[in-house]
Chains A and B, each alone.
Chain A
Amino acid sequence: MKVYLKILSFFTPVIALAISFGLTTFILIMIDRDPVETFTLMFDYGTTGKSIVSILNRSIPLYISAVAVAVGFKMGMFNIGVEGQYILGALIAAQVGAVLILPRPLHVLTIFIVAAVVSGIWAGISGYLKVKKGVHEVISTIMLNYIGAGIVAYLLANVFFEKDENNSLKVPQTNYLLESGQLPPLNNILGIEDLPNLNSFIVGAVFVGIFYYWLVWKTSLGFDLRATGLNPVAAKFSGADPNKLIVLAMLISGGIAGLVGMSNLVGYFHRYTIDFPTGLGFAGITVALLGRNHPVGMALGALLISFLERSSQILDLNNIPKEIERIMQGIVILVVVVSYEVVRRYILTQEVKLASRMVDKDE
């Protein structure tokens, strides 16, 4: 690829963001609000120390969820079920973690493994159904979301509940993890004072990103996955077994999905409660699209979405409707996805031209 094409490809998101800001400005003017003031407010508030910690903490599960979705995307499968996979994994892991007594690293690790295995199996059901029964994964993962949510609600109400002090009322939440099952915030290690807690599972998110990159771009299995995603017929002729890959991809995607809830479980709530955040599975799809399934791109996407969510909280106090942030998110996603496609096509035609020019010169 020629250098200028590489630069173009790299700057696409920047251009897309600029367009999005332009469109948002237009909307702000239409509703009679000062765009400069709005953006300044958001930026100032979004870059305070408190906000930065909050943005990082929000980004952790978003990013992991995006990676889980991206594993499926890479082989042309849509795992829409990260949502159900992670809440189920988190609940079971929380319960197992609450009854275990183990030394710290082992305790925390066991919780992670239980979550990954449960979520992986939940996703694996979709893989199995696709291979054996021809059920499209979009249908089965969506359905399993509902079933997963139902199981979680049932288990919380009837099996894993906690009794209140009088031992009479059932409280729908698991018992606290022992201290050995909790991850302390990074603040002490990094020497951050006077700021909210920075979730130490951010390290886990980085590892997930590295694992994803290594798996998809560096291993033979990843090669099979990508080849199947781009040309399933050629992949089959090359010896890749599509059925095996479908199940494997769903297991891996689900396994990663299992880690989505971990920052909140071991680093914040230390139990599964009804306050446990939901919706992260769907948000992950957005982030995967924004980040073009690229490990770094998705990290930036997760940070961007978290930044918008956080910084918009200041708007209401200044009489600017906070919903403008929702609109911005929508615009950003739309513009980014469209510009990626436009640039991708442009680069393809340029490549074809370059190659044919080269042949003409030769002959």
Chain B
Amino acid sequence: MYLYRRIVQAKLFIDQHYSEPLDVSAIADEAYFSKFHFIRLFKSAYGRTPHHYLIKVRIDHAQQLLSKDIPVAEVSMMVGFESSTSFAALFKKQTGMSPSVYQRRQRIKRMMIHSNPLTAVPNCFAEAGGWKNRNFQ
């Protein structure tokens, strides 16, 4: 079980420090593993190498920040990417769309919800919630 605690600690370390410059060796040191042993165990536990997991966490956080209308270049830096070009490429690889397209879609979704929240709710749930004939204006 001790082994698992160390792997979990490494994962939580990435979760907390994703916006900082991180390299796998430093994370492995943090967890008291040799680099290659660490990569193997991490991948077995989380299905991704530590490096790929770090990228995933950064893109996940980027999605949240883009939804708040923060400019793309700023988001790229905030989540720890040194280059906004590589950020855009990795973002598209993970989400299937560019950061700016994602941001535009989120903006449209927010506007639709603002004008009528029921646009986001399947009718059956709107009826179950008693929201169907409510005026949200």
Query: Do the two chains belong together in a single complex?
Result: no
Binding site for A on B (CB under 8 A): none
